[in-house]
Amino acid sequence: MLIIEARREPYKGYEYTSASLISRGSGEWTYGRIEVRAKLPTGKGMWPAIWMLGTHIDTVGWPQCGEIDIMENVGFDPNRIHGNIHTLAYNHVKKTNKGSSITVAKPYENFHLYAIEWFPDRIDFFVDDRKYFTFKNEGGGVDVWPYDRPMYLILNIAVGGSWGGMQGIDDSIFPQQMLIDYVRVYEPIY
């Protein structure tokens, strides 16, 4: 079991510690099914995420590199799972991002399977194999669809932040853990 733990503890001038696991340089994919079976942390201030960024972020920047949020959850709305994409045309800064959400009973008490199936023409988002969102390739070029290039996976718990901390941080909840049972990537065979 992989455990990512967020703690309330001083470190280099900050009040909290946590971690991000990043596959860049050791695992990068273009298309396929990416799935993560996880149990989430909970409480005001928690912002666990399973997401992907384009490997060329250093040369083109964000959001041009593309971002796929396979799973996001905020502690002040603990039973809602979000799936989003961010591109130059569609992103939260412009308030044009595309995404959806689904209610999941107590994702902090039980393991659930968070997944995408990524094709040249669309990205489908799932929780426990229930599809709740599809983002289609509109044919508008890289500003709309930067998803024809390799991307790497990130697993993390943010503490606070612009979304996770929107209603503050409850210091009584710590420590909090995201438990990862497994990560699987199924690459397409063409």
For the chain, the first-to-last Cα distance in angstroms comes to: 33
Q: What does the DSSP assignment read for 18-63? A: --EEE-TTT-EESSEEEEEEEE---STTEEEEEEEEETTHHHH-TT
Catalytic residue flag (residue 187): no
Cα 55 from Cα 73, distance rounded (Å) = 24
Catalytic site residue from 5, 67, 109, 117: 67
Active-site residue, selected from the candidate residues 28, 72, 109, 117: 72
| CA gap 147, 151 in Å, rounded | 8
Clarify whether 35 is annotated catalytic: no
Assign 3-state DSSP to the chain and report helix, strand, coil percentages, each to 5: 5, 50, 45
Q: Point out the residues that are catalytic.
A: 67, 72
